[in-house]
Amino acid sequence: MSGTFAVLVARDLRLAARRRVDVFLPIAFFTVAVSLFPLGVGPEPQTLRQIAPGVVWVAALLAAMLSVTQLYAADHADGSLEQMLLVPGARLSIVIAKAVSHWLLTGLPLVVAAPVFGLLFDMSAPAIGSLVAGLVLGTPVLSLLGGLGAALTLGLRSGAVLLILIIVPLCIPAIIFGAGAVAAVESGLSARGHYSVLGALLIFTAVLAPMATGAALRIATE
């Protein structure tokens, strides 16, 4: 299983290197979306600090959903997905590898870019650290749930719209507690409770989402 996982992650990263436009599109969307808010709400530092966590988290969610729609579509279109699913016991490896690849290509760049946007919104250093920590715990949840939505809508017309309607409500708890951690730090309170909930969400999603995604892929390819 570990060998299959490593091969699939390396394969997805190589394919992404050949489609740089598709890789940079979510990052560009995230950058533009977050950068426009200070222009729209004005330069008041207090207002910017208050809206910063929510803005970053919502933009990260939309950027993840923008890129996850094609997570299985290309492999399904050329028939390689069916061939990979024929390997005994490879289904979970495929699902987890796809989620990890998606996070490395989308979630990790958002985590790295978060401190820059924290400075743009005049956030303090502890608040920026809390924002980054929340994204580290929360963005894998977005990738796992996005993979589930991509599998459920695989091969459907208008699948991207349906994916958003299915997955976005499931991601709301991660947004609430991720933004709440920053608000707690800004208020001088401990954010451990928020991190604990995000960690629990990550564990819960990591355990259940791959199995549900594997079942959805089996149904979609039969």
Mean pLDDT computed over every residue of the chain: 86
What are the structure tokens assigned to 53, written together? 């966590």
Counting runs of H as helices and runs of E as strands, what totals does the chain give? 10, 0
DSSP string, 27-87: HHHHHHHHHHHHHHH-S-HHHHHHHHHHHHHHHHHHHHHHHHTTTTHHHHHTTHHHHHHTS
How does pLDDT run across 125-138, given as a tens digit for each residue? 999 999 999 999 99
Counting residues of the chain whose pLDDT is more than 70, the rounded percentage is 98
Domain that holds residue 29: 2-221
- Enumerate residues 6+ apart whose C-beta is below 8 A from 167: 65, 145, 146, 148, 149
Question: Which pLDDT tens digit goes with each residue over 66-105?
Answer: 888 778 887 887 778 888 877 777 788 889 989 999 999 9
| Count of the separate structural domains present in the chain | 1
Question: What type of residue is 138?
Answer: G
For residue 88, what are its two tokens? Answer: 């005994």
- pLDDT tens digit sequence for 156-182: 776 777 888 888 899 999 999 999 999
8 Å CB contact between 29 and 63:
yes
Name the nearest CA neighbour of 105 among 146, 134, 133, 75.
146
Nearest CA among 200, 178, 180, 6 for reference residue 90: 6
d(CA 96, CA 140) in angstroms, rounded, equals: 11
**Cβ atoms within 10 Å of 167's Cβ, excluding its own:** 22
CA 95 → CA 9, 37, 136, 179, 196, distances in Å? 10, 35, 20, 28, 25
